[in-house]
Amino acid sequence: MITDPTHYGLPARVQLEALGDNRLGIRKVIKSRIIRKDAEKIVQMARQIRSVNPAVELTLLCSRNICSKSLALLREEKIEIGYID
């Protein structure tokens, strides 16, 4: 997997990780809680990545500080969540 965010048309500060053959992780580690507005930005990133490679599966790598509305939105968009401790 290509982990260069500019390949997908994303800003260079976005952190991507290869998690498998066809799985990409979006690393989002912030000290504050991930709220719905943050989740909407993550969904936009996921749509941009899928426009380049539609077969890719995405996982959000974040801390456990995430609100329930964000979890619901990410599940609707078929983005899995992996927790980093």
pLDDT at 54: 95
Q: Tell me the H-state helices in 1-85.
A: 36-52, 68-76
* Predicted TM-score (pTM) of this structure: 0.91
What pLDDT sits at residue 3?
Answer: 93
Domain limits at 43?
A: 5-83
CATH number (domain holding residue 76): 3.40.1350.10
In the chain, the number of structural domains is: 1
Res. 85: pLDDT tops 90: no
Please give the structure tokens belonging to residue 27. Answer: 């690393």
Reported as a single tens digit per residue, the pLDDT across 11-59 is 999 999 999 999 999 999 888 999 999 999 999 999 999 999 999 999 9
Which residue has 């982990």 as its token pair? Answer: 3
